[in-house]
Amino acid sequence: MTVREPEGTAVLQLTDVSKAYGAVQALSGVSLKLVPGQVHCLAGENGAGKSTLIRVLTGAVHRDSGDYDIDGATVTTASPGALRTAGVQAVYQELSLLPHLSVGENMFMGRLPSRSGVIRARDLHDRCRFVLDSLGLADVDPDVIVERLPAATKQLVEVAKVVTADAVKVIVFDEPTTALTEAESDRLLDQIRKFKREGVAILYVTHRLEEMFAIGDWVTVLRDGELSQSGPMSDYTEDTLINAMVGREVSSLYPDEAREVYPARLSLRALRRTPDSPAVDLEARGGEILGIGGLLGSGRSELLLSVFGSEPVASGDILIDGAVVRPDGPRTMMDAGVALLTEDRKVLGLLPELSIRENVTIASLRVGSRRGLLPGKAQSDEADALLDSLRIRAGSYDQPVSTLSGGNQQKVLLARWLLTKPKVIMFDEPTKGIDVGAKGELYDVINDLARRGLAVIVVSSYLPELLGLADRVVVLREGAVAGELPGGASEEDVLRLASGGVDDPSDHLHGITPLSHDPHSDPVTRQNIEEVPHA
């Protein structure tokens, strides 16, 4: 497969762009052409240079060399503000919303309706309501503060924010569906198709190959910061695309081997998160991978947080290796042998200003540190060995963890918890934002943890992953255990339990009703936003 260029006049073109961070060459001579009305997918493993290319394209970082053109004119000032004005918008994997402002204020930031310097609240509410309804977000209140929203809803608000922008020429979607359910992802892909029909150029980045083949017209593959391949999506199959990304064949993502199962390492007995919530009983045995499924809002993540001591428990017992442990805080549960890799690694997991090594050792400082402040040499050496075994791509373990790609950041969190020698390790959406090659590596690690006798719990919205990894799947519905399924169960079995047996469970995800208007109707534009009656 060779490097080819899409036909048509470019709305945005990067030519021979390079960018280095110290000794690490993140991009080397990469070119990219975006054409109006085309979805251009960007593929590659974590650390291949995708995030750096996006940052260059959106003006978040300055390229060291190379040319940047929009509509044939050279871009001299490639700042985020200047590029947004030129028509380049982005929906990031890591949200750019301001958490303490309302949904409406975030969506119309910089264009808030006002009179004499005072925001016209009713006008703002009506404009926001119009856009949200058009996107099928009828249950989202324009006046609610963003930090109170679930992660998936925040992602959809990020998309709605782009819809309201003026003169959109290019939209970059960076892993937009990682926090979305299948129904919400389908709705987003339909919206992207509308943008495409409008003549907008789309750069789409995802680790979900099925999404690339569903909406992609063209694909560019990066490997080790260089342009590896580029061509029509129709020229590829999933196998050939994976091979182009990782440089090798990935035969089987999910390990398939028998493991010895031991007695329960974690037991929940009539556990209630609140006085009115359902009682939850479950066991996670040593040597097994227990999957927890359910629709968004079913209480999957909240259950893990309660077991870890981060959220309250009203009544019931938590037992570790048969001994009752009172979950009065994360430190107590960590000391008891419980580890948690959260879904939101940036907010609840990583300390971005600290180094990679410091992020790994920080959970173990009381055990192996010098006076509880700095890691000792043995602890640092063990941390480095763990990082080496997980194949972290970094110039040095002393560099800030914020400089790593999403997949490598997830590996840093995993190394942190492995250093604590846990008995029970819980993963909440473990492969969120991780490429297919790194997924296989992480699945092998998860399988190895179970083989060593740990109880492994995995929460995942991606049903093939949940069923492919887990020996058993416990399905939650409205905070209660709806049932249990073997690992070989079907996706339909999970959805039937999760939704209470409704005919089409996808229509009930997150309480969002399907788009009421025809999918081929006119897309939302700035003009019809302005036509909403003013207060």
pLDDT digits (tens, 9 = 90+) for 329-379: 988 998 999 999 887 665 556 777 788 888 888 877 654 444 444 556 777
Residue 268 has pLDDT above 60, yes or no: yes
pLDDT digits (tens, 9 = 90+) for 188-218: 888 899 889 989 999 999 888 889 999 999 9
Name the pLDDT band for 94 (thresholds 50, 70, 90): low
- pLDDT score of 366: 55
Residues in contact with 436: Cβ distance below 8 Å, sequence separation at least 6, in sequence order: 45, 207, 209, 242, 245, 246, 250, 253
Helix axes 377-389, 406-418, angle to 10 degrees: 130
- pLDDT score of 95: 67
Alpha helix ranges (H) inside 314-369: 330-336, 356-361, 365-368
With beta carbons less than 8 A apart as the criterion, state whether 125 and 142 touch.
yes
Residue 163 has pLDDT above 80, yes or no: no
Q: Which two tokens stand for residue 413?
A: 């969190």
pLDDT digits (tens, 9 = 90+) for 214-263: 999 999 999 888 999 999 999 999 888 888 887 655 556 677 778 899 99
Measured between alpha carbons, how far is 290 from 466 in angstroms, rounded to an integer? 9
- pLDDT score of 240: 87
Residue 450 has pLDDT above 90, yes or no: yes
Measured between alpha carbons, how far is 15 from 66 in angstroms, rounded to an integer? 6
- pLDDT score of 437: 67
Measured between alpha carbons, how far is 351 from 402 in angstroms, rounded to an integer? 8
Residue 519 has pLDDT above 50, yes or no: no
Residue 505 has pLDDT above 50, yes or no: no
pLDDT digits (tens, 9 = 90+) for 275-318: 999 999 999 999 999 999 987 778 999 999 999 999 989 999 99
Residue-averaged pLDDT of the chain: 82
Q: Which domains does the chain have, with CATH numbers?
A: 12-252 (3.40.50.300), 266-337+422-501 (3.40.50.300), 358-419 (no CATH)
- pLDDT score of 346: 58
